[in-house]
């Protein structure tokens, strides 16, 4: 009967929106809840990138302090708190590693982290190069378009299958698969474009030790991978 604007009583705020609302309105128990729910993920992301539990702890502190002190930086209408925190932790962790690398280069001090590599692992030189490549890839991951970055975070850090990630992001499964593929290809290309092209995997020779390259800014362009890629170049 009414031709007026109708009421949708079925709309219920998501738990993220409810948590965010309490953060905005200054209820600190909401921060404790967010930490309980997502602290593990944030630390997992940070330790994967920094490879240091101490650094990961600092990153987690920073991430949750930012969630609390700048609650309006998160918009519950634009994505989940899980991916937002994961992305923020990742970015902070990449920044931490970059500044560590700069610091190391400046002081030429012992690479104390290097001594932490267990003997059973690859040789120290290879480990150094692998860590440089990892930083390069994580830098590129941090620069992916948001739509790709989110699904990579869910699949890679949060352990979601592509189908679970699709549900969580509210996108079709096919889109989730496509975004994962585009994202991973772009990461592979960023590696190939790096100043020191990697040795083909499985090379028996450890790569030459080298000066740690400055983390190159990942390409801004959203251009597709080059055609050579299709040939496995």
Partner 1 sequence: MSDDHDGVPELLAAWALGALQSADERAVPPHLAECESCAAEAERLRETVRLLDGPPGAPEPPAPGTGPGGGAGPDGVVALALRARPAAPRVAAHAAPYAAAVCSLTALLREVGGHRPWGTPVVHDWDVRDTVGHLIAADEGLARGLGVRTHAPPSRITRDTGWEDAWETRTAEVIAYERTRSPDRTVAAWSAQSAALLATAEALDAGRAARVMELTGVRLPVADHFLVRAFETWIHTDDVGRALGLAVPPPPGEHLGRLVRLAVRLLGPALGPAAAPVLFAVPDAGDDARWVLGAGGEPVRGELTLRAVDFCLLVGGRHTPASVPRSATGDADAVRNVLERAASLAWL
- Residue number, 88 or 180, with CB nearest to partner 1: 180
- Which residues in the 156-215 window bind partner 1 by CB under 8 A? 156, 160-163, 165, 174, 176-178, 180-181, 183-185, 187-188, 191, 198, 201
- Distance in angstroms (rounded) separating the CA atoms of residues 214 and 232: 27
Q: Give the number of residues in contact with partner 1, rule: CB under 8 A.
A: 86
Distance CA 18, CA 14 (A): 6
Q: How many CA atoms does the CB half-sphere of 75 hold within 13 Å? A: 2
- For residue 219, what are the CA distances in angstroms to 140, 195, 228? 8, 13, 18
Which of 15, 73, 102, 203 lies at the binding interface for partner 1 (CB under 8 A)? 73
Contact segment (CB under 8 A) with partner 1 among 53-61, 101-109, 204-212, 216-224 equals 53-61
Cβ closer to partner 1: 109 or 233? 233
Radius of gyration of the chain from its Cα atoms, rounded to whole angstroms: 21
* Region near partner 1 per CB under 8 A, out of 18-26, 103-111, 204-212, 216-224: 18-26
- Tokens representing residue 55 in the block: 């650094």
Query: By C-beta, is 51 or 104 nearer to partner 1?
Result: 51
Quick one: DSSP state of residue 231?
Answer: G
Sign, CA dihedral 140-146-148-149, equals: positive
Could you say whether residue 10 binds partner 1 (CB under 8 A)? Answer: no
**Is residue 60 close enough to count as binding partner 1 by CB under 8 A?**
yes
**Cα-Cα end-to-end distance for the chain:** 66
| Residue 127 makes contact with partner 1 by CB under 8 A | yes
Instruction: Return the closest-CA partner of residue 83 out of 151, 135, 170.
Output: 151
Q: Considering only residues 84 through 113, tell me which ones interact with partner 1, judged by CB under 8 A.
A: none
Taking the complex as a whole, the smallest distance from the CB of residue 118 to partner 1 amounts, in Å, to 5
How far CA 40 is from CA of 45, 127, 141, 158, 168, in Å, comes to 9, 26, 20, 10, 18
Q: Which is nearer to partner 1, 71 or 218 (CB)?
A: 71
Residue 39 is a binding residue for partner 1 (CB under 8 A): yes
Near partner 1 by CB under 8 A, which window of 6-14, 99-107, 203-211, 216-224?
6-14
CB of residue 232 vs partner 1: minimum separation in angstroms?
4
Among 10, 14, 15, 47, binds partner 1 (CB under 8 A): 47
d(CA 24, CA 38) in angstroms, rounded, equals: 18
The residues, any chain, with a CB within 8 Å of residue 231's CB and separated by 6 or more, are: none
Residues 130-149 that bind partner 1 (CB under 8 A): 130-131, 133-134, 137-138, 141
């Amino acid at each position: 009967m009414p031709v007026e604007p109708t009421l949708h009583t079925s709309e219920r705020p998501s738990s993220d929106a409810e948590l965010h609302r309490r953060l905005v309105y200054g209820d600190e128990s909401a921060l404790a809840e967010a930490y309980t729910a997502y602290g593990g993920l944030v630390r997992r992301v940070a330790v994967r990138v920094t490879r240091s539990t101490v650094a990961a702890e600092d990153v987690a502190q920073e991430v949750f302090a930012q969630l609390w002190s700048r609650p309006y930086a998160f918009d519950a209408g634009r994505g989940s708190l899980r991916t937002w925190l994961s992305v923020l932790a990742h970015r902070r962790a990449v920044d931490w590693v970059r500044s560590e690398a700069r610091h190391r280069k400046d002081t030429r001090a012992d690479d104390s982290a290097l001594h932490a590599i267990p003997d059973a692992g690859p040789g120290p030189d290879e480990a150094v190069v692998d860590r440089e490549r990892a930083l390069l890839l994580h830098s590129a991951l941090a620069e992916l378009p948001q739509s790709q970055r989110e699904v990579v975070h869910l699949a890679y850090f949060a352990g979601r299958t592509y189908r679970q990630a699709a549900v969580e992001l509210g996108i079709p499964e096919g889109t989730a698969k496509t975004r994962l593929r585009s994202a991973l290809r772009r990461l592979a290309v960023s590696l190939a474009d790096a100043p020191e092209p990697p040795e083909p995997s499985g090379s028996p020779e450890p790569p030459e030790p080298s000066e740690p390259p400055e983390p190159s800014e990942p390409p801004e362009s959203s251009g597709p991978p080059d055609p050579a890629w299709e040939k496995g170049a």
